Amino acid sequence: MSKRWFVFGISGATCSGKTSLANRLHKELKNSIIIHQDNYFLPVDDPRHIKIEELNHFNWEIITSMDMEKMRSDILKLIESSPNESELSEKTHDKNILIIEGFLLFKCKVISTLCDQKYFITLTEEQCWERRKGRVYDPPDVPGYFEKAVWPEYLKHKNQLMEDKDLCKTITFIDGSNSKEEIFQMIFTEIKKMLSSNFSHY
């Protein structure tokens, strides 16, 4: 990774507050750029989608529902290039920050390895459903989708992270039932400390 960039990833359960947290950090860290994994979902007519036959609905909870090759490429191009002044609202001692956010972020080894710091926000099934059921997606969830796909895929992904001991050691797990403000302040404070120490000797 280029020393010009400090990269951190925010992942976790659906509706755990990842995007709101990433957007707020992006707003506060004036010399930052943000990339959302959700922007890389394949079009609905892409033949690579996997259908859940009993629901007659695509499984959007798996890594193959996204164009991860393009996401990796976009990230690598960004950190390997010199940032434009127009892209960064402020540059402070060349401490350029890349925020990457997405629910399956650390499933991509290239992206996971690039992250200097990783956060994963957890929720219980009840908390996740309470938040998810009030949201409207495009395409919208069909009845049974949460039970058949959303929650099982989240558990599978989280368990895979936990079983990878080397990877797990690099992830800070956060209880998503804490207030958004509490989570933000904890991460914001930690990142500022890391930026100060990580770049002080460059």
Tell me which residues are annotated as active site.
Answer: 38
**What's the helix, strand, coil split of the chain in %, to 5?**
45, 20, 35
Q: Could you tell me where the DSSP H helices lie in 32-150?
A: 68-80, 109-114, 125-132, 145
The answer to whether 154 touches 161, Cβ cutoff 8 Å, is no
Q: Rounded to an integer, what distance in angstroms lies between the CA atom of residue 106 and that of residue 168?
A: 10
Radius of gyration of the chain (CA): 17
Residue 83, class by beta-carbon neighbours within 10 Å (0-12 exposed, 13-18 middle, 19+ buried)?
middle
| Block residue for tokens 């892409």 | 46
